[in-house]
């Protein structure tokens, strides 16, 4: 299955960084919070999550200096992602205001929302490989996540040049988007190493710069 965006083929005009949100209350409770009607206003960062976001901001400040003002930051609408982005945005002193875009929202886990993450059977994950297109078991398909996230990258490419673009999102959407930059079949997205909380990775082709904030 072909990737929708390939940086080597397109010759990206901007530099992209993916950042997962800091530790959230949902992480501590080990539950899925994937419905924006719930997650936009609840299940925010823990104290540790806020500290992780600060550490990520400081790392990005060092990494991007002296061009911190040339940053465009876009976040998922979920509280845990927005708060992470707000902390990083403030530390970087970005010239442009923080943007919220639902394209970066968590993958919709449907009937598993607010349930323990261990409740999803292993065969459900295996179905990502055999059928990444269909919304199986009520869970948003891998390809739908890839379409919305890669479409955002295309829009950003059409809008900006020579910017440092930071995408603050969630583990699954970022893993899926990363397949685009590393030429991995989207259905195999779980083969991409999972993002830790507040981890930063530069989206490059074919290598990924891992500036993990642990």
Q: How confident is the model at residue 138 (pLDDT cuts 50, 70, 90)?
A: confident
**DSSP label of 31:** B
Cα–Cα distance measured from residue 90 to residue 72, given in angstroms and rounded to the nearest whole number: 12
Instruction: Calculate mean pLDDT across residues 140-145.
Output: 92
Residue 130 burial (CB count, 10 A): 10
pLDDT at 95 over 70: yes
Q: Where are the alpha helices (DSSP H) in the chain?
A: 7-10, 25-29, 36-39, 47-64, 79-92, 122-130, 142-159, 171-182
The DSSP bridge pattern shows strands 15-20 and 200-202 to be: antiparallel
Residue extents of the structural domains in the chain: 15-211
Nearest alpha carbon to residue 6 among 182, 169, 213, 159: 182
CATH topology of domain 15-211: Rossmann fold (3.40.50)
Average pLDDT of 19-34?
97
Residue 13 tokens, joined: 């005009």
């Amino acid at each position: 299955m072909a990737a929708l965006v390939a940086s080597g083929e397109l010759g990206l005009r901007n530099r992209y960084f993916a950042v997962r949100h800091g530790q959230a209350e949902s992480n501590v409770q080990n539950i899925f919070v994937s419905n924006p009607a719930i997650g936009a206003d609840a299940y925010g960062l823990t104290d540790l999550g806020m500290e992780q976001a600060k550490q990520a901001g400081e790392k990005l400040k060092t990494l991007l200096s002296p061009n911190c003002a040339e940053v465009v930051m876009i976040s998922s609408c979920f509280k845990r992602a927005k708060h992470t982005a707000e902390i990083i945005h403030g530390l970087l002193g970005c010239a442009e205001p923080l943007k919220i875009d639902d394209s970066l929202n968590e993958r919709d886990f449907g009937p598993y929302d607010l349930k323990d993450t261990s409740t999803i059977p292993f065969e459900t994950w295996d179905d990502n490989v055999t059928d990444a297109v269909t919304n199986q078991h009520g869970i948003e398909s891998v390809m739908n996540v890839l379409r919305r996230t890669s479409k955002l990258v295309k829009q950003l490419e059409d809008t900006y040049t020579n910017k440092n673009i930071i995408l603050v999102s969630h583990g699954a959407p970022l893993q899926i988007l990363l397949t685009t930059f590393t030429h991995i079949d989207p259905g195999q997205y779980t083969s991409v190493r999972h993002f830790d909380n507040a981890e930063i990775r530069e989206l490059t082709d074919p290598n990924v710069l891992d500036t993990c904030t642990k």
